[in-house]
Amino acid sequence: MIYLASGSPQRSKLLFDAGIPFEVLGSDGDEDAIHIPHVMAMALERARVKAQGARIAHLMPDWPGQGVILAADTIVNVGDQILGKPKDADDARRMLQALSGTRHKVVTGQCCLIPAHNGQEMREASFVSFAYITMRPLSDQDIDAYLDTGESSDRSGGYAIQETADQFVVDREGEHDAVVGLSVTAVRRLYHELTGEHLPEPEAEV
């Protein structure tokens, strides 16, 4: 069982579509307080803080001994700018203007954690996934129309490639899921590393 320390509907959908059983937990971890110059290290540490926040808030001291806490954090990196989730529409506009016509990196850190229980120490494994996105130049009209969709809200970099922002993408190098917000491939690997077991595969369509 996966305990997903995230309220992100896109992360839940990725796990559901992959046929992986999970439950959603909240987290008291304050990832916004984590600022590290290296974008990959920052994404990993933020994911770790979320996982630890879920452990402390929900699952201790009565950890049942089964299942793995999963947390993830996605950051967009262009030049020397690190872009998280926009604070408001103006912030989303600034981000889209910064990404317009660029080849930028989208980084997702994943952390899996098994709390200490039955005399066993806490175990943790993490992995960073990334992809490069090439975005066509965006006009003011493009940005205004996209902001009107509301998709920028709560999305790293101010856009959602899995929704209508795919119209802005010229090229993608790397894993699509990492851009959406969670690498299912990485989750499977980390779960196996911690438990020695394999997560279920999606049922084949008849």
So which residues are the catalytic ones?
Answer: 73
Q: What's the 3-state SS for the chain? A: CEEECCCCHHHHHHHHHCCCCEEECCCCCCHHHCCCCCHHHHHHHHHHHHHHHHHHHHHCCCCCCCCEEEEEEEEEEECCEEECCCCCHHHHHHHHHHHCCCEEEEEEEEEEEECCECCECCEEEEEEEEEEEEECCCCHHHHHHHHHHCCCCCCHHHCCCCCHHHHHEEEEEECHHHHHCCCHHHHHHHHHHHHCCCCCCCCCCC
